[in-house]
Structures are given as structure tokens and as C-alpha cells.
Amino acid sequence: MPTSPLLAARELFSQLDANAQSAPPGEPVPRASMDLLIDAGLLGLMVPRAVGGSELALPDIVDVYEEVARADGSTGWCYFAADCTAAYFGAYLDDAGAETVFADGVPLMAGQFAPNGTASVHDDELVINGDYQFGSGIAHADWVGAGVLTNADEGLDPEYLFACFPAAEAELRGNWHVLGLQATASYDYGLRDVHVPRNQAFNFFVPTVHRGGPLYTLGVMPLTAAGHAGWALGVTRRVLDEVAAVAGSVTRLGATSSLSTNERFLYEFGHLEGRLRAGRAWVREVCTAAEAEAARQGAISALTASLVREACRMVNQDGADIARQAYLLAGTRALRDGPIQRGFRDLHAGSQHFFASPAAAIELASTLLNTVETG
């Protein structure tokens, strides 16, 4: 019987963890870790089957992202970013574009979809210039994406496109000296007169679904949010697991017994566990509901999209706070290099991302209030 993707990810835990711990500081996620994921058939979980992906249900995808991130935050981050990016191009490029990008199967992808570049349109070709940041996983990527605004004629609005091209076209600039997620190697990159066929780009906000099921009508923002949510849940899970593992052997100065029998510790740890499980339940609830609504209606409402994004924001921010509380509970064990410290740093790095910003909560509140006023 074939191994499920979740079980396959779980079986890689020890190897991914060992690779992360042995990698030199400041170096990218080991290529061996990405190869482990590829060889286990885990690249392409969100990608349409028509271009070689698995096209799993969204809650199942989130579960696997969570499991990989539990092994290592940087590996999990590069993995979900590559998988989500390939999903967008797999679903939203026209047939000619998809045939080129997916000619050799699902590629490792990276890139920033913020429109930090411009594209001149010449017949069926884009000429792109821009300066980008946060190219997570770009050190190992085969293809790179970039958000651009087209140079429109006077009086016309530019198009916001997400384009992709071979990774060799991007100039990697480094500039990744950070608190957490250090091994993601989320380098700055530049594009100078990069020629890209128009069929290797899609309209970011109103993409046409060329292949795949109802999942892809959710659009880039909710699908990306689901990826970030799975990542945060996995890293937070690892931090709490590590604290539990040392609780029996840690006795704080002046205490008469280990943490595992200290009532205050037990209360605080139980509370943190409950917060994580509540967040995970909400993420699964909104992902299940969004995919079901897309299947029924052919699209999701603004409210549903906002709920997915807010669930993502919450578990990212809550994860950082849970990690901080867990760090304090574990005492000097957490001070030293290891999974607790690494998870603490990674979650605080992730909490600075746009998908963990107040924007999602503001959007949800505005949508809810507008629904009340017009209902």
C-alpha cells in the first residue's frame, strides 16, 4: 500500500532535523533536504494533477506543510513556498506557458509576488526590470517568479502580473543576515531586461483557472495564507514537543522538583498546548469550509477569504507568543543552541511577514461590519 504524503513527511523527520542541525550557520537549507522531499513525492501537493502535481485537499496539504516545518522551520518554509508558487503557475498559466514551465515535472520555484518590478509589453513578450527581496529557497530554485506592473499607455491602468522565468535570469544579491529562518536564504534578487514570454505570466488578482479543481478558485492570497498557517503550526508544535521532552530533567534553581511535577509549569504548559490545538482546529475549519464553498459556488466570498487569512495571521502571531512563553518555561535549556531556540527565532521571523501582519484582522473586521450593515 502506498505511503500517504503525511506519513512520508513524518518518516523524513529525523533526516531533515539532522540536516538542519549539521548545516553551517548562514548557509541555505541543504540541497539534500529538498531532494528528500522530492524523492518522497512531496513536491507538488498543491499543484494541479494535469501538470504532475498531487492536487490534494487543502487541509491535507496544510497537514504535510506542518509536518515538514516540525522537522525544521527553514526547510518547511522553503518547501511550502516552492509548492505554493508551483501551484499558482500550474493552475493559472495557459497551456503553452504551463507546457514550458512543467516540461520536466514540478520544478522547485521561488520568488516574490509583490509588484516590485515593471514590465514593458512587446507583442507576446514581457521585458522585466525590478528589485526584489525575500526570495525564499531561491538558492535551489529551477524557476523564479516576480510580480510586475506593466507599463500602460496614458489613461490606462497597468496590469499586475506574476511572471516566471528560469532561475539563471535572476541576479542573486544576498542580504540575508537575520534573526530567524536563516537557512531559507531569502536573498534579494534583481532583474535587468529579462525577456519573458507573456504566456509565462498571469493576472495576479483575477487569474484564469486553466486546469485543476475548485481549490484554485481561492486565488493566490488564501492559498498562500494556508501555506503560512501550516508552517507556523509545525514550528510551534516542535517547540512545545521539545519543552515536554526536557521537563522531567530540568529543575530550576531553588526548586525542589523538576518542571514535570511543578504545578505552575503544568498549568502554563497545558494552556500553551490548548492555544496551539485551538489554532490548528480553526485553520482546518476555514480551509475545509473554503474548499467546500469553492466546489459549491465556483468561488469563495470575501468573508471566507478573510477568514482564511485571519486564521493564518492568528496562528503565526500566536505561535511566536507560545514560543516565547515556552522559552521562558524551559529556562537555560532554551538559551542554548537547539530546536527550542531555533523555533523561537524562526517563529519571531515569521511573525514579521505580511501574512502575519494586522492587515488580515483589519480586512476581516471590515468585511464583517460591512456584512452587518448591508444584511
pLDDT digits (tens, 9 = 90+) for 323-336: 999 999 998 888 88
Domain total in the chain: 3
272 and 330 share one domain: yes
**Domain CATH for 283:** 1.20.140.10
Mean pLDDT of all residues in 277-301: 98
What integer best gives the mean pLDDT of the chain? 95
pLDDT reading at 33 higher than 80:
yes
pLDDT reading at 375 higher than 70:
no
Q: Please report, as a single letter, which amino acid is at residue 372.
A: V
**What is the predicted pLDDT for the residue at 257?**
76
Q: Please report, as a single letter, which amino acid is at residue 10.
A: R
Contact 103, 52 (CB under 8 A): no
Domain around 189: 109-203
223 and 356 share one domain: yes
pLDDT reading at 152 higher than 90:
no
128 and 163 share one domain: yes
User: Which tens digit of pLDDT belongs to each residue from 237-251?
Assistant: 999 999 999 887 887
Mean pLDDT of all residues in 113-126: 95
Predicted TM-score (pTM) of this structure: 0.96
**What is the predicted pLDDT for the residue at 136?**
97
218 and 367 share one domain: yes
246 and 130 share one domain: no
Asked whether residue 234 is assigned to any structural domain, the reply reads yes
What does the alpha-carbon distance between residue 355 and residue 45 come to, in Å, rounded to a whole number? 21
Mean pLDDT of all residues in 151-175: 92
**What is the predicted pLDDT for the residue at 41?**
97
Mode of pairing for the β-strands spanning 125-135 and 143-150: unpaired
User: Which tens digit of pLDDT belongs to each residue from 262-284?
Assistant: 888 899 999 999 999 999 999 99
Backbone angles phi, psi at 297, to 5 degrees: -105, -15
**What is the predicted pLDDT for the residue at 247?**
87
Asked whether residue 311 is assigned to any structural domain, the reply reads yes
Asked whether residue 208 is assigned to any structural domain, the reply reads no
Mean pLDDT of all residues in 189-195: 98
31 and 123 share one domain: no
**Domain CATH for 80:** 1.10.540.10
> Which domain-ending residue is among 101, 119, 140?
101
Contacts of 355 (CB under 8 A, 6+ apart): 224, 225, 228, 309, 312, 313, 316
250 and 322 share one domain: yes
343 and 369 share one domain: yes
**What is the predicted pLDDT for the residue at 2?**
60
pLDDT reading at 14 higher than 60:
yes
What does the alpha-carbon distance between residue 352 and residue 139 come to, in Å, rounded to a whole number? 22
**Domain CATH for 187:** 2.40.110.10
26 and 69 share one domain: yes
**What is the predicted pLDDT for the residue at 77?**
98
245 and 123 share one domain: no
For residues 175 and 259, the model is more confident at 175
**What is the predicted pLDDT for the residue at 265?**
84
259 and 192 share one domain: no
Asked whether residue 209 is assigned to any structural domain, the reply reads no
> What are the CA-CA distances from residue 64 to residues 73, 185, 204, 297, 342 (Å)?
13, 22, 26, 27, 20
User: In a 3-state reduction of DSSP, which class is residue 358?
Assistant: coil
**What is the predicted pLDDT for the residue at 1?**
46
